[in-house]
Amino acid sequence: MPIVNPFPGGTILGYPRIGRRRELKRALEARWAGRTTDADLEATCRALRLATVRHLAGLGLDPADGSIPSSFSPYDHVLDAAVTLGVVPAADYHVAARGDGTRPPLELTKWFDTNYHYLVPQIGPHTPLAFADDAPVRWFAEAAHPDDGGLPVVTRPVVVGPVTFLLLAKAAADAPAAFHPLDRLDDAVAAYAGLLAALGATGAPWVQLDEPALVADTVTGHLPAGALADAVARAYGALTAVPGRPAILVTAPYGDLRGTTGDHLAPLAATDVEAIALDLVRGTAPAGPVPGLAGKTLVAGLVDGHNVWRTDLARRLTQATALGAATGAGAVAVATSTSLLHVPHDADDETWDATHGRDPRLRDWVAFADQKVTEVTTLARGLAHGPDAVADQVAAATAALADRARAAGVVVPAVRARVAALRPADQTRAPYPERAAAQARRLRLPLLPTTTIGSFPQTREIRAARAAWTRGDIDDAAYQSAMREEIARVVTLQEDLGLDVLVHGEPERNDMVQYFAEQLDGFAVTAHGWVQSYGSRCVRPPLLWGDVTRPAPLTVAWTSYAQSLTSKPVKGMLTGPVTILAWSFVRDDQPLTDTAAQVALALRDEVTDLQAAGTAVVQVDEPALRELLPLRREHQHAYLDWAVRAFRLATAGADTATQIHTHLCYSEFGDVIDAIDRLDADVTSVEAARSRMEIVPQLDRAGYGRGIGPGVYDIHSPRVPSAGELTELLTLAATSIDPALVWVNPDCGLKTRGYAETTQSLRHLVAAARAVRSTLAGSGR
């Protein structure tokens, strides 16, 4: 039986949790360091929750009708759901997040196609699953009936929905092979029913259940046909029958509910939920009437929650106005397409003064979280009272967009001409056997060559020197000499260890994308634009707003300096085009493939310059290649095509005798194995230690025939692997594929590790390579 609370006219699906001044980060880290108590942490969290919902009321969301989401999380919203459902005991919250010496933390993985990471709950046939913790109810009550004399706010509690929660969970280690967490749907739904009844009893008019799994073949692809529709029908059939419940909004952010693998809007619309939110930035609106929508509110996600560009209010208002008649929805409301978790708080926190490319014109072109709230309320007013009611705001947006479209730097004719002139030959190198022979003659490497992924430990001194230079406390010369000293130390260390292909260690890089964004034209780097990556970790994605050019070489001086210190080859180190896009806020006014080609051409010039300076090996890292994989199967092919093309454009300017490496930080290749082959790198290093080299036979079966460096040393832990252990892993690799292809390296960069453990581990790594070389020589291979 549907409930008759009118849905608010305008809302957002969630708001950043970390705090405008990263208060949550500081509070968590102080608690973990033992400097504060649980009560201190809870007090900060409570203050943040109240300040946030009141701030949103101040921005114009209605404080009385559930317009304001209660979307706080102390660490991660999937972990919160696991606690609510009793899968993780509330007392173990921080252990689940961080481990405690004896118990490992839950696995951390990417949330859909974003750079946010969630904790993966583990569920088996007997895992407790019942309404166990009422934090969403307490948070609702604390805001609705505040005891601090402040503004009461009737919020809309936000919880991950039951279908998505179970689909994101993984089967517990001891579960039978045929078990999937979705088998526990009825138990989970009973737990959610308990939560909904409690929320209703506390007076919550609305609850929001997020079901992004419904848009993602990457999550649901393995399910038998009909299983997802059945799960939706069962879950929401049961939840809408809960007596005394709040009205239910189900959201489907990050994509389209309808795709070639099925229409997941239909089964949802067939239930009695009161409102459905569609992502109309990434997905499309149904063009015709949807059965079941008549009695519901269609919440139109028209303001991009995942990117920072100002909304075209005129276009979106027209779209919103047409939706009701087109779809047959009972009512239409306006919202962000996703939670605002993915964007910084406020564009006004930034000084737009041209520092680091923060062109003053950009202020008018962007909308961070707070600006997006205003966009939503503007659209909602326009929808309710007609376009005249918001004519000024719409005109201002239109003017800003027009200004952006014709601004210098947004379109640089020379860049356009260069991209337009590209030919297939520009992404094609000589055949691999020819390259391999030329590189072997030039590099003269032993069998099983040893190398690292690029970064060496970033010591306190390095960070301090970089920060001092950024603040202007030390001059360029002092900074240069501090970095050169570090590079010299790292080169000497690698020579002493006996590594074959050296690196300069990347001491000058704050971040592998920001470092390039700071030097390329077309990018701006923010000072305060923090976005939560996971838990207390935040990143500041650069803004890629204009056509990309490289005013000067980016890395050549550092690499050449390192090379001048040794007769061993030093590998140049670049971040690839796909990863630069994935970890930036990318312009939304042209296809990603065009932007990727521009970034690729800037990198291509860098490869050529490195080569001209005598660099024989260049690594182009693409750790985010898989992250950007579209959630819907029908879009994956086109993505992989442009991603591969961009990488090849970046690297195909290299001569036959220049060896191109790439690095990918994961081991489950599944959907992308073929694309990795098409990158045509001479050597690919991947994560493999934890999965015991599983990837190597897989690559062999897939016909991969170029260099492969399966990481033997797991750098995600401070543990020093023994030489014996590394020998064993390496033997495994060298016997499952032609040993002439195998490289020996760690899993990833060493920047988060300490020098003591790193030195020991690399010593063992070189010893292992030598041991396996002599075994292979002895066996006549």
Using CB under 5 A as the criterion, which residues of the chain lie in contact with Zn ion when the complex forms? 623, 665, 748
Binding residues for ligand MET restricted to 723-752, rule: CB under 6 A = 748-749, 751
Q: Which of ligand MET, Zn ion, none has residue 117 at its interface (CB below 5 to 8 Å by kind)?
A: none
d(CA 223, CA 638): 24
617, 618, 624, 629: CA torsion to nearest 10: -90
Of residues 55, 180, 635, 716, which has the active-site annotation? Answer: 716
Q: Which of Zn ion, ligand MET, none has residue 454 at its interface (CB below 5 to 8 Å by kind)?
A: ligand MET
Helices (H), 575-667: 577-582, 592-612, 633-651
CB of 456 to ligand MET, least distance (A): 8
623: which DSSP letter? Answer: T
CB of 715 to ligand MET, least distance (A): 9
User: Is 454 among the residues that bind ligand MET (CB under 6 A)?
Assistant: yes
Sort 619 into a burial class: Cβ within 10 Å, 0-12 / 13-18 / 19+: buried
CB 32 within 8 A of CB 101: no
Amino acid symbol at 675? A
SS3 349: helix
User: Is 683 among the residues that bind ligand MET (CB under 6 A)?
Assistant: no
User: Is 286 among the residues that bind ligand MET (CB under 6 A)?
Assistant: no
CA–chain centroid gap for 481, Å, is 35
Q: Which of ligand MET, Zn ion, none has residue 751 at its interface (CB below 5 to 8 Å by kind)?
A: ligand MET
Contacts of 365 (CB under 8 A, 6+ apart): 309, 310, 400, 401, 403, 404, 545
- Name which of 133 and 687 has its Cβ closer to ligand MET: 687
User: Is 609 among the residues that bind ligand MET (CB under 6 A)?
Assistant: no
CB of 749 to Zn ion, least distance (A): 6
CB of 661 to Zn ion, least distance (A): 12
Handedness of CA 55, 525, 623, 711 (dihedral sign): negative
d(CA 366, CA 347): 7
d(CA 696, CA 50): 52
Q: Which residues on adjacent β-strands are paired with residue 684?
A: 662, 708
Q: Which residues on adjacent β-strands are paired with residue 686?
A: 664, 710
User: Is 753 among the residues that bind ligand MET (CB under 6 A)?
Assistant: no
293, 209, 160, 75: CA torsion to nearest 10: 130
User: Is 499 among the residues that bind ligand MET (CB under 6 A)?
Assistant: no
- Name which of 159 and 499 has its Cβ closer to ligand MET: 499
For residue 264, give the nearest of 282, 274, 251, 280 by alpha carbon.
251
- Name which of 249 and 624 has its Cβ closer to ligand MET: 624
User: Is 623 among the residues that bind ligand MET (CB under 6 A)?
Assistant: yes
For residue 219, give the nearest of 161, 277, 175 by alpha carbon.
161
Q: Which residues on adjacent β-strands are paired with residue 586?
A: 544
Give the other-Cβ count within 10 Å of 528's Cβ.
17
In this chain, which stretch among 68-76, 435-443, 453-461, 644-652 interacts with ligand MET, using CB under 6 A?
453-461
Q: Shortest Cβ contact with ligand MET: which residue?
A: 749
User: Is 453 among the residues that bind ligand MET (CB under 6 A)?
Assistant: yes
User: Is 512 among the residues that bind ligand MET (CB under 6 A)?
Assistant: yes
CB 66 within 8 A of CB 204: yes
45 is in an annotated binding site: no
Starting at the edge strand found earlier in the chain, the sheet holding 68-70 runs: 68-70, 155-160, 206-210, 247-252, 275-279, 297-303, 331-336
CB of 603 to Zn ion, least distance (A): 18
- Name which of 335 and 618 has its Cβ closer to ligand MET: 618
Q: How many residues bind ligand MET (CB under 6 A)?
A: 12
Can you tell me which of 41, 367, 573, 672 binds ligand MET, judged by CB under 6 A? 573
In this chain, which stretch among 354-362, 449-457, 463-471, 759-767 interacts with ligand MET, using CB under 6 A?
449-457
748 is in an annotated binding site: yes
Q: Is 716 a catalytic residue?
A: yes
CB 235 within 8 A of CB 161: yes
User: Is 166 among the residues that bind ligand MET (CB under 6 A)?
Assistant: no
774 is in an annotated binding site: no
- Name which of 235 and 580 has its Cβ closer to ligand MET: 580
CB 188 within 8 A of CB 167: no
- Name which of 69 and 623 has its Cβ closer to Zn ion: 623
621 is in an annotated binding site: yes
- Name which of 78 and 748 has its Cβ closer to ligand MET: 748
Catalytic residues, by residue number, are: 716
Residues that constitute the known binding site for L-methionine: 453-455, 506, 621
Instruction: Report the interface residues with ligand MET, using CB under 6 A.
Output: 453-455, 512, 573, 621, 623, 663, 665, 748-749, 751
Residues that constitute the known binding site for 5-methyltetrahydropteroyltri-L-glutamate: 25, 115, 537-538, 583
